[in-house]
């Protein structure tokens, strides 16, 4: 079913998840028990500001690292089966995204801006990438991180349009590089009970959100290329 039809027939949501929320809670040194009892399944949003304990991903990951890693993958055909979001970049798949001219990657004058995302469904590459990050320390011990991670990358001025996801579970997204604005809005049935608001996520922070309930839009702010990685959790 097309996305627009799926939204049209989406069952109404209980607005209790967003009533009274006008800003994002920011937390640190958050124990798994406190997170589970107070935040994990409340819909969010929450930003954890000290969430990348012992991660090397912020130093290692960039466009060229991903390009090299994916080009060297043995099972390239399976990568094309992973979900890819071009976000009006004109890119048709992940290999085309990692074949951009150097001038476009660097956003030289006269080149088109770019922002794209993909699911890392290739187990070979997932094993390589996960050497540089792990499940956030605050997730409940009973929680199982989704086997598929999502990566989003792009230049300032670009981002994802306002949308709601169709996934099973709440999710976390780690801001490895760059700075991203998140614009959050309640679903239509909650417009008269809940607020729309925005927040900024900076490098080293993780935003936790139920993207099945919150409509969300992102915008990469001036500075370096934004790179985020995230996953669903139960």
Order the strands of the 25-27 sheet from edge to edge. Answer: 25-27, 46-48, 206-209, 171-177, 226-232, 149-154, 115-120, 84-85
Q: What is the pLDDT of residue 1?
A: 39
Residue range(s) defining the domain that contains residue 49: 3-232
| pTM over cut 0.85 | yes
List the chain pLDDT tens, one digit each, 234 residues. Answer: 345 545 555 678 899 999 999 999 999 999 999 999 999 999 989 999 998 988 999 999 999 999 999 988 866 666 767 899 999 999 999 999 999 999 999 999 999 999 999 998 888 899 999 999 999 999 987 776 666 899 999 999 999 999 998 888 889 999 999 999 999 999 999 999 999 999 999 999 999 999 999 999 999 999 999 999 999 898
Per residue in 142-186, pLDDT (tens digit) is 776 666 899 999 999 999 999 998 888 889 999 999 999 999 999
For the chain, how many structural domains are there in total?
Answer: 1
Distance from C-alpha of 47 to C-alpha of 12, rounded to nearest angstrom: 27
Residue 143 belongs to domain with CATH number: 2.60.120.650
* CA-based R_g, the chain, Å: 18
């Amino acid at each position: 079913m097309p996305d627009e039809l799926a939204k049209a027939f989406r069952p109404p949501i209980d607005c209790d998840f967003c009533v009274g929320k006008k800003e994002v809670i920011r937390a640190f040194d958050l124990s798994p028990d406190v997170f589970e009892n107070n935040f994990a399944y409340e819909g969010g949003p929450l930003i954890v500001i000290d969430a990348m304990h012992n991660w090397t991903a912020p130093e290692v990951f960039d466009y060229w690292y991903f390009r090299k890693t994916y080009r060297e993958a043995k099972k390239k055909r399976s990568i094309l089966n992973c979900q890819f979001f071009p976000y009006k970049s004109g890119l048709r798949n992940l290999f085309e995204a990692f074949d951009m001219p150097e001038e476009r990657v660097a956003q030289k004058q006269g080149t088109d801006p770019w922002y794209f995302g993909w699911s890392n469904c290739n187990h070979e590459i997932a094993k390589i990438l996960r050497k540089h990050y792990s499940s956030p320390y605050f997730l409940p011990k009973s929680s199982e991180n989704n086997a598929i991670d999502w990566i989003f990358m792009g230049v300032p001025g670009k981002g994802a349009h306002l949308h709601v996801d169709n996934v099973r579970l709440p999710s976390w997204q780690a801001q490895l590089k760059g700075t991203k604005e998140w614009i959050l809005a309640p679903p239509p049935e909650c417009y008269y009970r809940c607020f729309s608001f925005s927040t900024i996520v900076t490098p080293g922070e993780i935003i936790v959100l139920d993207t099945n309930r919150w409509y969300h839009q992102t915008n990469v702010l001036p500075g370096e290329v934004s790179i985020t990685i995230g996953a669903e959790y139960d």
